[in-house]
Amino acid sequence: MTRTAGNVSTIFMDNVADWLIRNALAGQPLEEIIRGFCDRIAAAGMPIVRVHLTFSMLHPLYDALGFTWRAKSGLTVEGYRHDAGSPEIFLRSPYYQLLSNDLDYLRRRVPKEGPYEFPVFEDLQEDKVTDYIAFIQPFGEQSVQGMMGSWSTDAKDGFSDDMIAALQRIQNHLAVAAKMAVLDKLANNMLTTYLGGDAGKRVMNGQIRRGDGETIRAALVMGDMRSSTILAEKEGRQVYIDTLNDFFDAIAAPFNRNGGQILSFLGDGFLAVFPCDRHSEPSRQACQAVMAAVTVARSRVADLNRHRHEKGLANIEYGLGLHVGNVMFGNVGLRDRLTFSAFGSSVNEVVRLQELTKKYTTDVIASKAFSGYARGDWSMLGVEKLRGVRQKVTILTPDTVQKSLASDVRVEEAVADLRRNALSEAERLILLHRDSAQGGQKRQSATWLNRLLP
């Protein structure tokens, strides 16, 4: 049933404003703040049927976080990646009208039938929206972060003037609370992206002093791209960087799932760890998870090289060293410039194992300790004296690897790829908002669109 717009309690809306500040100061996640906010303004008598809020973020992988609240179904959350969309979507959106005309808000009554001024109105008809207000609110004149969104009601007469005034007042409080939560999320994002998930959490939890750390047991992976120096000298900086990123996407990504994490990138190589308990069964599970990732990595590099062959480019060659042992995990470096990493004899040994892939012209070499836990079929290559290691080490290469865990990793990657590629209109719109916020809205809007147009 369509509702009639009535009065909204000023006292209740003030209580919502107080609730926002309290929860922002308490460090509540942005998602919980948005959900609680929407539920409370609806409870205060605001005839809101849909709220969409998008927050631009400083993040190496994502442009924004988007939240859509509906009175019928609650809150949904999406992360919007750095992917470009179709220019037509921006040109026909309410947010483009705001940006191109340097407006703070835009209000439209939504007709029951088309043709519609904006394509989004067709979607709003599912919620029987009668009145729609879109807005943009930066988090400061020089900041690239900000809030963009819309209020929608299904009230027969739309939003009253008192309701609009209440929404504008509460919008300022929401922006303050959201900015505090976004900054907290930003710190988390930076640590997770640059340090890894587990290391980032450790730092956020206070493990920040030089020497802070612990000894853990883990299956270790050291990967390296071959002939990278020649490639850099022959093809130039940008081609080398693009090739290196393609290489990491293909071979390193499988080791960042299924219990593993990329701990550091070292030039054209990477170090991954699969932490486990100090017993045989956890060690077996960690080593078998590594071998599943090896299967996926081999397949992904083969796919990459097929694409490179079609373009007349040379194959990318690589080497992987596999080991298991105790490592020291923590902060090292200068007093005012630290890194969070794994170090110790086991790390040195896995580096040396990877280097031996050049001598034996094979892509994977493992220690006997690793192969014993991983099981499966292995071929012995020899016994080597590793530099910096007292005892000689028996080295092996895998004949076959387990398929079951490799299949699980492939499923996870397929789902991640689908999520990354399935961009909504709101996702593409926030890309325009963020780029527009840098150096002037009108000028940057035109620049962004010109870059996309053929």
Give pLDDT, residue 204.
47
Helical pair 280-310 and 237-247, crossing angle rounded to 10 deg: 140
Q: Which residues pair with 105 in a beta bridge?
A: 135
CA distances to 10, 288, 298, 305, 331 from 240, rounded to whole Å, are: 60, 33, 21, 15, 31
187 and 131 Cβ atoms separated by less than 8 Å? no
pLDDT of 441 above 90: no
Residue 453 has pLDDT above 50, yes or no: no
Q: Compute the distance between CA of residue 96 and CA of residue 135 in angstroms, rounded to an integer.
A: 11
pLDDT (mean) for 263-282? 85
User: pLDDT at position 142, please?
Assistant: 52
According to the model, what pLDDT value does residue 257 have? 83
Give yes or no for a contact between 293 and 254, defined as CB atoms under 8 angstroms apart: yes
Nearest alpha carbon to residue 433 among 188, 194, 51, 90: 90
Can you give the pLDDT at residue 93?
A: 82
> Residue 201: its pLDDT value, please?
55
More confident residue, 311 or 207: 311
Between 257 and 190, residue with greater pLDDT: 257
Both structure tokens of 285: 């599970």
Mean pLDDT of 203-210: 50
DSSP 178: H
What's the rounded Cα separation, in Å, for the pair 214 and 50? 48
54 contact partners, CB below 8 Å, separation of at least 6:
64, 65, 66, 67, 80, 147, 148, 149, 426, 429, 430, 433
Residue 422 corresponds to which amino acid?
A: A
Residue pair 449/332 in contact (Cβ under 8 Å)? The answer is no
What does the pLDDT read at residue 364? 96
Q: In whole angstroms, what is the distance from residue 250 CA to residue 256 CA?
A: 11
pLDDT band at 312 (very low <50, low <70, confident <90, very high): confident
Of 408, 414, 366, the C-alpha closest to 258 is 408
Task: Name, of 9-23, 170-184, 321-335, the range with top average pLDDT.
Answer: 9-23
Band the pLDDT of 150: cuts 50, 70, 90: very high
Segment among 2-16, 40-54, 436-450 with least mean pLDDT: 436-450
pLDDT in tens, 314-366: 888 999 999 999 887 666 555 654 556 667 788 889 999 999 999 999 999 99
Residue 5's pLDDT is 46
Residue 116: pLDDT above 70? Answer: yes
> Beta partners for 54?
66, 148
**Which of 72-81, 249-258, 330-339 bottoms out in mean pLDDT, i.e. has the lowest?**
330-339
Q: Which residues pair with 332 in a beta bridge?
A: 339
**How many Å apart are CA 15 and CA 40, to the nearest integer?**
9
pLDDT over 90 at 151, yes or no: yes
Task: Give the span between the Cα atoms of 105 and 94, in whole angstroms.
Answer: 9
- Please state which of the ranges 77-86, 126-135, 217-226 shows the lowest mean pLDDT: 77-86
Q: Is the pLDDT of residue 16 over 90?
A: yes
Most confident stretch, 186-200, 221-235, 250-264, 427-441: 250-264
Instruction: Find all residues with CB under 8 Å of 59, minimum gap 6, and list them.
Output: 186, 189, 190, 193
Locate 381 and state its tokens: 């290559």
Determine the pLDDT at residue 434. 38
Enclosing H/E stretch for 452:
helix 441-452
Nearest alpha-carbon partner for 53 in 61, 39, 63, 64: 64
- pLDDT over 70, % of the chain: 70
pLDDT reading at 438 higher than 50? no
- State residue 20's pLDDT score: 94
Q: What is the 3-state secondary structure (H, E, C) of 40-55?
A: HHHHCCCCEEEEEEEE
Residues 91, 452: Cα–Cα separation, whole Å:
12
Locus of tokens 């300022």 = 172
Does the pLDDT of residue 207 top 80, yes or no? no
Beta-sheet pairing, 364-367 with 318-334: parallel
Residue among 53, 11, 81 nearest 178 (CA): 53
33, 36, 38, 42: CA torsion to nearest 10: -160
Is the pLDDT assigned to residue 452 strictly greater than 60?
no
Q: What is the pLDDT of residue 183?
A: 63
Share of the chain above pLDDT 90, in %: 35
pLDDT > 60? residue 50: yes
Residue 63 has pLDDT above 70, yes or no: no
Range 126-131 contact pairs with CB under 8 angstroms and sequence separation of 24 or more: 127/49, 127/50, 127/70, 127/72, 127/152, 127/154, 128/2, 128/49, 128/154, 129/49, 129/50, 129/153, 129/154, 130/2, 130/154, 130/155, 130/156, 130/157, 130/158, 131/107, 131/155, 131/158, 131/159
Sign of CA dihedral 300, 308, 86, 444: positive
pLDDT at 397 over 90: yes
Cis peptide before 115 (omega within 30 of 0): yes
Q: Reduced to 3 states, what is the DSSP secondary structure of residue 222?
A: strand
Q: What is the pLDDT of the chain when averaged over all its residues?
A: 77
**Residue 152 to residues 131, 159, 397, 415, 429: CA-CA distances in angstroms?**
6, 9, 62, 32, 18
Q: How far apart are CA 240 and CA 248, in angstroms?
A: 12
For residue 383, the model assigns a pLDDT of 93
